Amino acid sequence: MTRKPSIDKHELFARTPVPKALYTMAVPTIISQLINLIYNMVDAFFIGRTGNSYMMAATSLSLTMVLMMVALANLFGIGGGSQFARLLGVQKEENARRVSAFSVWASAGIGLSYALLIGLFLDPVLRFLGGSENTMGFARSYALIVVVLGGVPAVLSMSLAHLLRNAGFSGKASLGLSGGGVLNVILDPLFMFVLLPKGQEVTGAAIATALSNTAACVYLLCAYRRAGREAPLAMSLKEARKVSGPDLLKVFAVGVPSAILTGLFDVANICVNIIAAAHNDLVLAAMGIVMKVERVPNAVNVGICQGMLPIIAYNYASGDRKRMNEVIRAARTVGLGVAFFSILLFEVFANPAVRLFLSTRTEDAETALVTIGYAALFLRIRAAASPFQFINYHTSYSMQAMGAGGKTILHAVVRELVFYIPLMFLLDRLFGENGLAAALPAGEACGAVFALFLLRSILNRQGRKDAEQA
């Protein structure tokens, strides 16, 4: 079948007023981010109905392995998607087809490799992450089903969503991930409280999540194939093998920094878990609850950034610097508004927010109340990081869109390894678990200052080049 020209997507990226273009791309992406968040939050919510703090701590341990799958999906989803958008910007649609096909196959391959690796070393990994005799059995069950058995569809579905979004099909990407999230909401209580016996709630949650990921992957594969009739999207292995060396290098130039950024974020979470577990399992459970609650505004802001990325990439490649800068400024304004509003909400409603994830109406109510007390305090402290986190996300995605892979890697390394993780250990030693919570706003603030310096240096250098060529 003859493919229809993708003029509407060029119109959206190049000429649609910036607020409307950003709205069109970002809103479906925000929705998909929020629904995707349900995959983990709904598990935590229903597990919290048991009132078992050790089950909650176990899901916190497993979450780090799930987040690593996000990093792997970014490698070829954001890397391939960003290069795809830039190729569209210079009208090289055949190259774009090859990049998209390569990204699909590479995502499936790296997802399989990660699943096999975790399967071989699951117990040592869980011990390293802070697993105890109280949490190991629950964490092992969850990771085996979600990461080992369900790793390939999880990674592939996220990569497909990125590729669809960068081709201008943000709605299709959102629908696929959102549908999986809704299915997870339905399947979780079915497997946890109906089909499996009491005490197997974590296993039930894992089965529901793996099935939901698989369903989302199947839908996105179909949507991707249909979108290929309108845009240069392909999944043929033959096309994947034809990808050029320069295009491949540009995929990795953006994908590797994006994966490193997410991977280092995961490393930071691993350090949080290890330090929290060294205090006790209840501090670990509380920190796990907080990291789920605070991901709500983060998901909105990442959605804004992912929505702006293809527009920036397209206009950077086409040479429209004015429009590119307008998109950067508009996204920054909206994201900071979301961040400051979230601070207000969490300071006022910290206790009700964390209570959503742990019931106190069980035989273990005393332990649950202690965990909730820790979690509410940690949330109020860590909420101050929201605007700084957005600046870090916004700057990183802007640099990725412009193909500045080296600067993105430098930002990720400095943000996590120079600022956040050292501050984590230092403040924990000085102030205990409250210091551990305070390390996030302190580290993110330092990272944000460095990020703005890097972005300004890129824009100034590009401005000088444009002036010389004029």
Number of Cα atoms under 13 Å in the Cβ half of residue 159 = 35
- The reported pLDDT for the residue numbered 470 is 58
Element spanning 395, H or E: helix 386-401
Q: Average pLDDT of 168-184? A: 82
- Helix then strand then coil, % of the chain, to nearest 5: 85, 0, 15
d(CA 186, CA 42): 10
d(CA 118, CA 297): 30
pLDDT in tens, 80-120: 888 887 887 777 888 888 888 999 999 999 999 999 999 99
Retrieve residue 464's tokens: 């000088």
Which residue in this structure is represented by tokens 């009208």? 91
Whether residue 409 has pLDDT greater than 60: yes
The rounded mean pLDDT for the chain is: 85
Q: CA quadruple 438, 440, 443, 447: dihedral positive or negative?
A: negative
Which residue in this structure is represented by tokens 């579905």? 157
d(CA 398, CA 359): 41
- The reported pLDDT for the residue numbered 1 is 37
Retrieve residue 281's tokens: 């399992």
- The reported pLDDT for the residue numbered 444 is 95
- Indicate the domain borders of the chain: 16-465
Whether residue 309 has pLDDT greater than 80: yes
Angle at 82 between CA 393 and CA 304, to 5 degrees: 35
CB-based contacts of 86, cutoff 8 Å, min separation 6? 250, 313, 314, 316, 317, 403
Q: Average pLDDT of 70-89? A: 84
Question: Are 409 and 260 a contacting pair, CB within 8 Å?
Answer: yes
Q: In sequence order, what E strands does 262-417 have?
A: none
Share of the chain above pLDDT 90, in %: 30
**pLDDT-derived band at 5, boundaries 50, 70, 90:** very low
Q: What is the model's pTM?
A: 0.71
